[in-house]
Structure 1
Amino acid sequence: MIILMFLPIVGFAQKYELTGKVIDKSMDFPLEYASISAKSIEDGSIVNGGVTNQQGVFSIQLEKGTYNLEIEYISFEIKKINNFTINKDTDLGTIGLGAKAGELDEVTVVAETTQVEVRLDKKIYNVGKDLTTSGGTVGDALGNVPSVTVDIDGAISLRGNENVRILINGKPSSIAGFGDQDIFQQLPADAIESVEVITSPSARYDAEGTAGIINIILKRENTLGFNGSVRGTLGDPTNSGAFLDLNLRTDNFNVFTSLGYTDRTRPGNAFTDTRYTGNSSFDRIIEDREFDRTGQNFNVNAGVEYFIDDMSSITASFFTRLGDDRDISTNINRRFDQGIENSTTERIETELEDDERFQYALNYEKRFDEENRDHKLTADLQYSNSDETKTALINENQTIPVDSLVAFQDNLETEFEESFLIQADYVLPIGDAQFEAGFRGEYEDQSQGFLVQRQDLETGNLLTDEFVSSDFNFQQNVTAVYTQYGDKMGKFSYLLGLRYENTQLKGNTLPLVPENFDRNFDFDKNFDGLFPTVNLVYELGEDENVTLGYNRRINRPRSWFLNPFPSQSSRINVFQGNPDLDPSFASAFDLGYLKRWEKLTLTSSVYFQRETDAFERVERDTGRVTEEDGIPIIENIPINLATEERYGAEVGILYNPAKWLRTNLSFNYFRFETEGAFEGIEYGATNESYFGRFSSNIILPWKIQWQTNAFYRGPRQNAQTETDPIASVDLGFSKDFLEDDNLTVSFNVRDLFNSRKRDQFTITENFTSNSSSQWRVRQFTATVVYRFNQQKRDQRRGGGDDYDDGEFGAQ
């Protein structure tokens, strides 16, 4: 009877609803996934809590009483309401949060077209909402990131410097093709969550890449329950694809899977007009080339994270990419003597490529402090491999003065590469300070086989070319340890670090007939290096700071720069590696300034870099001619120059004058001076250039989003070649449908005016050359995305489950 008397009191205690809306007060923009906690006044324990929805609205239930309330969002100031009493349903109204300023970690700027997190050693750009790259590739997405350029050949540069280290989720990866940037023209841009641009890397990062580091963070959903999305694309030229993202998260584990299939065509073209001096056979050769590249690719990225307890987890993941590509290149070669065309050939090269890439990874994370989750240990094991086979049939026929076979060639190229990575990182917060230490071992082994068979024009038999066919084995082993310490003293923050790396480069070349060569191409090089880093921040005000960074870095030559046997893409213009090439070392300084106003954010920096033994690719006349028709053979070879000094400045402006209009402008100017000679020829040069990028996002009637991206790169010049400026414009439109905007339809145009071409003029002692090339013509793409049990995310998540450095960040 006593229990029954108290049941009504226990079972029907009155609860009241507490509601409100959380926004970014500087931009009047709702913050999704902001957390609300009601804490006990007596012991500080959390009584109840919740998170905001897509509109920034929250609702929690509380019993009558007095509580301390906390409203927080990652990288924003915490809003506290102490001794809050609730005795009825209560609406707190709109609560504005301001971005944190002056902390050791970061200052955050939020906008609809991009999200920028400015940290001591990097800037993070959220590219997930870029309409112009929907249905495009990773290379397309990188081309829209400030400070980054992607040229018409797909080569990626940071501040105009192509020596940039690219990581996936903070680690080297077969996804990135072991440094082969062609892979970024095949992976879908929709897989990217954000891009970290690291121009002043701290000691935790690999010292590779004198320009800095680009770290690509892949998407991963953390919402509880089962959710996912389906995407489909259609484009012209052919750009079709189907993608499926699935995620299942419970209290004990998180399973994630991404599947993708693409079928793309990338037509391109090139033109070269070369004039020779002192050649008795020809004084002018015109090459006109057309490329027809097609490829089908299948990608899988899957994994499971198991939460051992509240403080530790283990994640196993798997990635594979299967590629089947077919490239057809047609080259019309016209030769002139004293203005008269006396012979013309047509060269058709058909290349088939099968490419398989696999990656297996295991990550363990242990947190030691419930109150400070930054105190942690992470350990990673990763194995990657790729297996690539290329077959190429080259058929060249003369059409003027008579029809006849000039050359027939059958090439077989194989490449197998595998990599082991072992890594451990420890982070210990000490008040406002933080101590870090870690180890990384990265060991790569690569083998290449190259067999060239040419048809004997007299007998018709295929004969092996003994001077080109060869095997090349390459190893690169890098072992590193680092430590760094950061602290904040009033308005001053610093992060000091030191990294030690040992690099071993080994190469073994096996010509098909060694007796044909009078030298040994093998090498075994070992390099030790200390790489100090210094990053400083001084707060001039709540929304204003100055940063200063210094770091020392290394540029290791990749295998294709070391392989001494020439490529066979052209009979008369060949690329050949240089086994004598050594790593280059660079020291860099970066001075930055950041200022925020209500609707405008300014980021800027000036930088200087001095590099010794810098790489330079030079063209030279080999003195040899083709056997079939006596055309001079021009060779492109990488060399070590004495020094290169590079300096420049960049500025970025985020201006959001209205809710319906958001803009982003960036500009980068750089200049470099090189000194050095090769084989008695001076290759020193002074070059300056610049590039700018403008992006705007406009909300039209019926909530249609319209995005415009414009890019301009100024002229460039090195010791031999002048490059004309390039300008291009991309457009994108998007519209959401259904309840909760679960269906999105978008359309975009890449290179609206079909103007993304590279025009160059080269002068050497023996020839001059005018050339123009276009890697890909204008592209139209339509994309449809349907999300289920998953809200459309305009912001990165806040709270404890966000992507952090220990889990997905660069290490």
Structure 2
Amino acid sequence: MKKCFLLAAIHFLLAFMSAPDAHAQSPAGDPSKGSSTISGMVLDSTAAKGIEFASVALFKLDNNQAVDGTTADETGKFSIVKVAPGDYKLLISFIGYKDKVIDRIHVEKGKDVALGNIGLASSVQNLQEVTVTGERSLVEEKVDRLVFNAEKDITSKGGDASDLLRKVPMLSVDLDGNVSLRGSANIRVLINNKPSTIIAANVADALKQIPADMIKSVEVITSPSAKYDAEGSGGIINIITKKNNLQGLTLNIDSGVGNRGTNLGLNGSYRKGKMGFTLGGFGRAFYNKAESVLDQTTYSGSNAFLTHQQSNAKDRGLFGQYSLGWDYDLGKNQALSAGLRYGTRNFIQKQNLAISQYENNALTEISDRKVNRKDLSGTVDFNIDYIRTFKPQQEWSISTLYSRTGLTNNFNTDLLNESGSVSSRLKNENKNHNQEVTIQTDYQTPLGKNQLIEFGAKGIFRTVDSDFQYLMAGEDGAFVFNPRQPSGALNYNQNVAAGYASYTLTTSNKYTIKAGTRYEYTGISADLGSEGKINIPDYGNLVPSINVSKSLSSSTTLKAAYNRRIQRPGIQQLNPNVNLSNPQSISTGNPALSPELTDNFELALSTNIKKTYLNVSAFARQTNNSITQVRMAIDTLQGAIVTTFENIGTQKAYGFNIFSNVYLTPKWTLNGSLDILHTYLEGQAVNAEGTSEMMSNSGFNYGGRLMSQISLQHGWGLQAFGFYRGKEIQLQGTRTGFYMYSLGFKKDLPNKKGSIGFGAENFLTKGVKFTSNLNSAQFTQTGSTQLYNRNFKITFNYAIGKMSFDAPKKKTKSVNNTDVMGGDGK
């Protein structure tokens, strides 16, 4: 079935590409309009060369009503046909150029109007290199998303994407790098509108592979339209990396050295005519240490079993990302692109663990362990994308993606005797693979002058497998199979077929309405190897969405939105491997998890008051069948607690967010946000008798961030940042909040060919400490962790090569898989 579908799509693509070019210069006109033609040629005013795909709009002069439009061909020529007699004006625009208006165009019946050459002035200034003269707003408000422009961030140099996301309105990032949007961790993260299996496997680790200073912007999509996959109950985060549309050859070197991390990046690009190449490589090494204390008590009848644990750990990690991109303009209205990316993650932790066990306050056992943990992965993504443009806003695209991730999660445990020598050894091997093959097609076309319709289809063919076993050291020291410990496999196949339709209407009284619906059918087959099949039924979901915005004035917009989202479990939640590295704190996945369904409501107001931008939003959501971490005690191992994932029941949340950006002076900005969230969770938990009973928990969470940046003379810049996240509400307790702060400055090199900078994080304290308090009828657990993340770093980057500005080509679209859960699923 999959093969037939792919072959049919390829034949369709070839047939469409070989069809005659559509008339790119003007949409079909109404014969009753008139018989005149308005024509001209759009040129770069400095290079005297045509600007391909420049947009040309025709307006009535008396009422400013749009009556027609077109795009220029590859030489810059355009023509608008069947124009009725009257007085008009033309608006000509293109990315990288200043808009130009040609006023008072008089058209007489039966007579054509030739405007000749029309020069557009570049919106960039050519000094010794290309430099953008305008100042982009830190935050931009769009119909269905908020855009955070990250290019001006100083302290992110040498950091990764998780460091940057802490500064984005409505987002929270914990110390492990797990991201939540308005309190929900069930979100989807895209990179340049593209998914990846490594994102699906672990969002936190994937973000460590992306250097912060290569991020151009972050889009927070709180109310995704029907065009997006239905997955991600909290919303979608789209990370846009820096690209260029310049002609020539460039090479950029980025590096940083610090006491907690070191990075080196090399990125190059080459463009000549219709073809362009990009090549990138980035590596980051980090090192940290942590100390933790954990006390947990389990109850069995009248007996209480206490476990006290102390540990110190040293973490080392090496993350890398390497990419090769290619794009080619097939013609004036067609483009083809391809990309290959490889990401690697190597995380190694060495931990010393001391465990003391008590029964009714009497010491029963003391053990010391050395645990070596390895989390290794390699991800390959390959995509081919094609787009064909017929006229402004009318286009068809087809996108394909192959993505495969290999994961290895192993640990070795050495049990020490009283003398400190090794008495026994245990090893867990857990290999996973996550593979996706995706094909999708999208079409959009305008209906009249103020309407747009979009529709498309998508197929995702996903395979996940896990193979795990425990080994023990034999008499000769070699590891052999351990029949007394759990072993097994998971084979999980998921096929998703989806279709959507979306309609956008803009009214004369400044309302914009975008409504649509999406249907997704999911078929699942799963088994546990020799243990047999898992009965997981297929399911279909209809997910509607509607976004309404109203321009109250030229600077104020009011928005309201509703959407329904689903959240499928990811590999971390499904993997049945039992982690026994700490025998008193065991973790495992649940391959029988079902998806959760969430209804989201949002109301937002954004406005500009003189030099201040303000955004206020309120939201509410309800999730049924919520996927949540749960903990329970087990009688077979006294004092131990098992952590797994369950569909607990209901989760409700409501709150609001306030964000503001103020230009204190043209060179000094101050921005900050405040988040307030109330969460209510209700679900089944195991009581002291070992049976399930209903339990609930609720509470408020507060958070905020503050950032200030000053641009000084002679290329100097200074930035300060502070972040706080309050306690997190969980079904069985709470986890306390934490704070982070940083200070950095940079100095641009002559001609802005590069910069050198210095940054410091948490420099007034030795690090961050946070605690957790969990309880049920079966157990109580308190823990605290001290991270020594005080960091000082020096950064350096330098650009080699000379570029000339040229018109950017029409870019192809790419596949967006946003339909599985990553991270810890909290």
TM-score (norm 2): 0.80
Q: Are residue 496 (structure 1) and residue 515 (structure 2) matched?
A: yes
Which residue of structure 2 aligns with residue 129 of structure 1? 152
Partner Cα distance (2:702, 2:743) in 1: 23
Q: Are residue 414 (structure 1) and residue 431 (structure 2) matched?
A: yes
State the one-letter code of the partner of 1:451.
Answer: Q
Residue pair 2:442, 2:456 contacting (<8 A) in 1 also: yes
Partner Cα distance (1:698, 1:569) in 2: 49
Q: Are residue 452 (structure 1) and residue 470 (structure 2) matched?
A: yes
Which residue of structure 2 aligns with residue 543 of structure 1? 555
Residue pair 1:698, 1:706 contacting (<8 A) in 2 also: yes
> What is the correspondence of 1:559-574 to structure 2 with a 5 Å cutoff?
559-574=571-586
1:271 aligned residue (286, 290, 293):
293
Deviations 1:721-748 (A, max 9, x none): 1222322212221110112x11211222
Change (3 A) 1:161 1:324: closer
Question: Match of 2:528, SS?
Answer: strand
Residue pair 1:228, 1:247 contacting (<8 A) in 2 also: yes
Question: Match of 1:757, SS?
Answer: strand
1:621 aligned residue (617, 633, 639):
633
Question: Match of 1:368, SS?
Answer: strand
Q: Are residue 45 (structure 1) and residue 41 (structure 2) matched?
A: yes
Q: Are residue 201 (structure 1) and residue 224 (structure 2) matched?
A: yes
2:406 aligned residue (376, 383, 387):
387
Change (3 A) 1:161 1:48: closer
State the one-letter code of the partner of 1:408.
Answer: R
2:205 aligned residue (146, 164, 182):
182
Partner Cα distance (2:735, 2:407) in 1: 33
Deviations 1:302-342 (A, max 9, x none): 11101111211100110012344432122122334676766
Which residue of structure 2 aligns with residue 733 of structure 1? 745
Change (3 A) 1:111 1:694: farther
Deviations 1:331-384 (A, max 9, x none): 122334676766432211123454221111101111112xx2x32112111111
Q: Are residue 139 (structure 1) and residue 158 (structure 2) matched?
A: no
Residue pair 1:521, 1:579 contacting (<8 A) in 2 also: no
Give the Å deviation of 1:181.
3.1
Change (3 A) 1:504 1:807: closer
Partner Cα distance (1:809, 1:566) in 2: 32
Question: Match of 1:139, SS?
Answer: helix
Deviations 1:95-140 (A, max 9, x none): 99xxxxxxxxxxxxx966x632211111121223322221111222
Give the Å deviation of 1:652.
0.8
Residue pair 2:166, 2:723 contacting (<8 A) in 1 also: no
Question: Match of 1:624, SS?
Answer: coil
Deviations 1:597-638 (A, max 9, x none): 22001111111111111122221111121xxxxx42211122
Bigger Cα displacement from structure 2, 780-789 vs 322-331: 322-331
Which residue of structure 2 aligns with residue 723 of structure 1? 735
RMSD of the alignment, in Å? 3.4
Which residue of structure 2 aligns with residue 475 of structure 1? 493
Which residue of structure 2 aligns with residue 596 of structure 1? 608
Deviations 1:155-206 (A, max 9, x none): 1111111111112222321352545432212332233222111110001111
Partner Cα distance (1:754, 1:130) in 2: 24
Q: Are residue 523 (structure 1) and residue 535 (structure 2) matched?
A: yes
Change (3 A) 1:569 1:397: same
Which residue of structure 2 aligns with residue 484 of structure 1? 502
State the one-letter code of the partner of 2:702.
Answer: Y
Partner Cα distance (1:324, 1:663) in 2: 38
State the one-letter code of the partner of 1:731.
Answer: L
Q: Are residue 358 (structure 1) and residue 380 (structure 2) matched?
A: yes
Question: Match of 1:581, SS?
Answer: coil
Residue pair 1:687, 1:718 contacting (<8 A) in 2 also: no
Give the Å deviation of 1:284.
3.1
Which residue of structure 1 aligns with residue 755 of structure 2? 744
Partner Cα distance (1:335, 1:251) in 2: 72
1:464 aligned residue (482, 493, 496):
482
Which residue of structure 2 aligns with residue 4 of structure 1? none
Q: Are residue 659 (structure 1) and residue 666 (structure 2) matched?
A: yes
Partner Cα distance (1:111, 1:158) in 2: 28
TM-score (norm 1): 0.81
Deviations 1:271-308 (A, max 9, x none): 21223445899743221222222233442111110111
Deviations 1:227-263 (A, max 9, x none): 23111111112x2222111111122111111112333
2:653 aligned residue (641, 646, 654):
646
Question: Match of 1:182, SS?
Answer: helix
1:290 aligned residue (312, 317, 324):
312
Which residue of structure 2 aligns with residue 708 of structure 1? 720
Partner Cα distance (1:72, 1:270) in 2: 59
Question: Match of 1:133, SS?
Answer: coil
Residue pair 2:231, 2:568 contacting (<8 A) in 1 also: yes
Which residue of structure 2 aligns with residue 58 of structure 1? none
Partner Cα distance (1:117, 1:406) in 2: 61
Give the Å deviation of 1:568.
2.5
Partner Cα distance (2:730, 2:208) in 1: 27
Change (3 A) 1:521 1:770: farther
Which residue of structure 1 aligns with residue 528 of structure 2? 509
Of all paired residues, the percent bearing the same amino acid is 24
Change (3 A) 1:704 1:524: same
Residue pair 1:434, 1:485 contacting (<8 A) in 2 also: yes
Q: Which runs of 5+ in 2 are unaligned?
A: 1-36, 49-88, 106-119, 125-133, 686-690, 819-826
Change (3 A) 1:588 1:805: farther
Partner Cα distance (1:463, 1:712) in 2: 47
State the one-letter code of the partner of 2:255.
Answer: G
> What is the correspondence of 1:143-158 to structure 2 with a 5 Å cutoff?
143-158=166-181
Question: Match of 2:163, SS?
Answer: helix
Bigger Cα displacement from structure 2, 319-328 vs 202-211: 319-328
1:585 aligned residue (584, 588, 597):
597
> What is the correspondence of 1:79-94 to structure 2 with a 5 Å cutoff?
80=101, 82=103
Give the Å deviation of 1:390.
4.1
Deviations 1:750-809 (A, max 9, x none): 3333443321112222332221125662222221111134689xxxx9x96389794699
1:378 aligned residue (382, 391, 397):
397
Partner Cα distance (2:479, 2:198) in 1: 41
Give the Å deviation of 1:642.
2.5
Which residue of structure 1 aligns with residue 321 of structure 2? 299
Question: Match of 2:155, SS?
Answer: helix
Which residue of structure 2 aligns with residue 87 of structure 1? none
State the one-letter code of the partner of 2:217.
Answer: S
Question: Match of 2:634, SS?
Answer: strand
Residue pair 1:343, 1:398 contacting (<8 A) in 2 also: no
Change (3 A) 1:358 1:435: same
Partner Cα distance (2:140, 2:815) in 1: 16
Q: Are residue 320 (structure 1) and residue 335 (structure 2) matched?
A: no
Residue pair 2:305, 2:639 contacting (<8 A) in 1 also: no
Partner Cα distance (2:384, 2:783) in 1: 48
Change (3 A) 1:379 1:410: same
State the one-letter code of the partner of 2:527.
Answer: N
Partner Cα distance (1:232, 1:208) in 2: 36
Change (3 A) 1:689 1:429: same
Residue pair 1:456, 1:463 contacting (<8 A) in 2 also: no
Q: Are residue 435 (structure 1) and residue 457 (structure 2) matched?
A: no
Q: Are residue 424 (structure 1) and residue 436 (structure 2) matched?
A: no
Aligned residue pairs, count: 713
Change (3 A) 1:616 1:116: same
Partner Cα distance (2:714, 2:41) in 1: 46
2:808 aligned residue (797, 801, 808):
801
Residue pair 1:549, 1:591 contacting (<8 A) in 2 also: yes
Give the Å deviation of 1:456.
7.5
Give the Å deviation of 1:452.
0.3
Structure number with the bigger relative contact order (C-alpha 8 A, sep ≥ 6) is: 2
Change (3 A) 1:593 1:438: same
Partner Cα distance (1:421, 1:783) in 2: 39
Question: Match of 1:567, SS?
Answer: coil
Partner Cα distance (1:686, 1:805) in 2: 46
State the one-letter code of the partner of 1:497.
Answer: G
Question: Match of 2:593, SS?
Answer: coil
Change (3 A) 1:680 1:277: closer
